[in-house]
Amino acid sequence: MYNVVQLFAKYGAHIMFVVLEIICFYLIINYNLVQKEIFLNSSNVYAAKIAQQQSKISQFSNLRNQNDSLMHENATLIENLITIEYSSDNIPEADSFYNQYSLIPASICNSTIHLRNNHFTLCKGSREGIKKDMGVISSHQGIIGIVRNVSENFSHVMSLLNSQTKISCSIKSRKGHGSLVWKTMDPLRMTLESIPKHEKIAVGDTVITSGYSTMFPRGILVGKIEKYVSIPGSNNYDITVKLFNDLTNIKYAYVIQNRLDTEQTKLEKEVVDE
């Protein structure tokens, strides 16, 4: 006891200083919103900076691949333009694609591919006009996913490789449409469901988006039919689709902006409400 008293007599001022400062910081953190947020997030500020640097470096080291893919993409676009000019019948509703839909290019900050439910993060957000439920494609040849959540500078995209994905697709120059789901763990293959058995299909047919949702316009190329099985006792084929694009190796994406989006959903919702 005597020792304790002596300790206080000797170091009382220092102990008091520490105690008072602790009280002050307790008050600061609990009653000041800004400081509270910084206290909770200060590690995030550094982490975000490091991640940004890292993505800069990896972007630089990937330039050659990126250039290649950009050139391919340009090539596809030019091909399409030529097709439109010479035989505008080959791509259905080609005009509406260019009027109704516009593309927002964005780079991909973060992505997962090896999980059951995969996600992407785009480096652009609501400031650039991205909204929830917009479709995301990597080029004319390939869907990436659907925007699920948007902040000011980033948007969170549900990847195509996700157990919740269900995208309405049809087969080019054939009838009928089905939905594209991801059942295997293979990032290159997906399954096309509910194409009825009376439709004729063949291995090597091209799968395109059907355009029945507001997210994707008709005619975006998805993949090729690799094989199909007609399950006994079912009305539908079980079709394995090999995707055109490799989702494990993409850095850039285009978000599809549909100008008539709200109009369509509003109209459809009115019918459902009745």
* Interface residues toward other proteins, by CB under 8 A: 12-13, 16-17, 20-21, 23-28, 30-32, 34-35, 38-39, 42, 45-46
> Is the dihedral angle over the CA atoms 153, 146, 62, 109 positive or is it negative?
positive
Nearer CB in complex with other proteins: 53/90: 53
Nearer CB in complex with other proteins: 24/231: 24
Tell me how far, at minimum, the Cβ of 7 lies from other proteins, in Å: 14
Nearer CB in complex with other proteins: 8/98: 8
Tell me how far, at minimum, the Cβ of 49 lies from other proteins, in Å: 8
Nearer CB in complex with other proteins: 2/46: 46
Tell me how far, at minimum, the Cβ of 29 lies from other proteins, in Å: 8
Residues 6+ apart with CB under 8 A from 97: 91, 217, 218, 219
Tell me how far, at minimum, the Cβ of 38 lies from other proteins, in Å: 5
Question: At 30, which amino acid appears?
Answer: N
Nearer CB in complex with other proteins: 14/64: 14
Tell me how far, at minimum, the Cβ of 10 lies from other proteins, in Å: 12
Tell me how far, at minimum, the Cβ of 202 lies from other proteins, in Å: 60
Nearer CB in complex with other proteins: 46/86: 46
Nearer CB in complex with other proteins: 39/228: 39
From CA 161, how far away is CA 182, in angstroms rounded? 6
Tell me how far, at minimum, the Cβ of 51 lies from other proteins, in Å: 15
Residues 6+ apart with CB under 8 A from 162: 116, 117, 118, 119, 145, 182
